[in-house]
Structure 1
Amino acid sequence: MAKAYWVSAYRSIKDPEKMAAYAKLAGPALTGAGGRFIARGMPAAVRECGLQERMVIVEFDSVAAALAAYDCPAYKEALAALGTGSVEREIRIIEGT
């Protein structure tokens, strides 16, 4: 079974306090759901329309595990702390090769 990668690409962080509250809950929620943080932070370099904004990559054992992590109660709590309009980002879950 192929591993899966949860990639969070931030376009902007509008409320750093809510982002910090989210991060405090999201990290343990994702690791508790079997995720392993591969990278998180600001890019060392950007190219081809890339944004100098936060990126997060989390590895899971499967796509099903990554999707289950997104839907788990602990991550839902993190999303509630983030609220709406605090960040602009996209989350992509992709299957590894």
Structure 2
Amino acid sequence: MPAYWISTYLEITDPEKLAAYAELAGPAIVGAGGRFLARGLPAKVYEAGREQRSVLVEFESVEAAVAAHDTPAYQEALAALGDGAVRDLRIVPGA
């Protein structure tokens, strides 16, 4: 069953750190089997929607998504991000 890595950026405090993270994170995620489905600012928000950057990545399973997060390559990306953003990251099983 597929799983989805859903990341939202509640606050970006340092765009340079975010850029350093993105440069490392993209290849780390793809290298671990992730497929980017959507990323960027919302085209439209409703209800309690927020105008914040969101990223949606598909993996073959919850286990694959968790393993991608825990790889040394992705951990290096997180270290580069440091306090550059406040994010919410969730791994959700597909239906």
TM-score bucket of the superposed structures, by smaller chain: over 0.9
- Name the CA distance, whole Å, in 2 between partners of 1:49 and 1:87: 21
Unaligned runs of 5+ in 2: none
Q: How does 1:47-66 map to 2 (within 5 A)?
A: 47-66=46-65
Residue of structure 2 equivalent to 1:28: 27
**Deviation, structure 1 residue 88:** 1.1
Superimposed CA distance per residue, residues 54-78 of structure 1 (whole angstroms, 9 cap, x where no aligned partner): 0000000000000000000000000
Structural mapping, 1:74-89, within 5 Å: 74-84=73-83, 86-89=84-87
Give me the TM-score of the superposition, normalised by structure 1.
0.95
Deviant stretches of 4+, over 3 Å: none
Offset of residue 36 of structure 1: 0.2
- Please list every run of 5 or more consecutive structure 1 residues that lacks an aligned counterpart in the other structure: none
1:87 & 1:34 partners in 2: Cα distance? Answer: 24
Alignment length (residue pairs): 95
CA distance, structure 2, for counterparts of residue 6 and residue 76 of structure 1: 15
TM-score for the superposition, normalised by structure 2: 0.97
Q: Distance in 2 between matches of 1:3 and 1:19?
A: 27
RMSD (Å) for aligned C-alpha atoms: 0.6
Identity among equivalent positions (%) equals 62
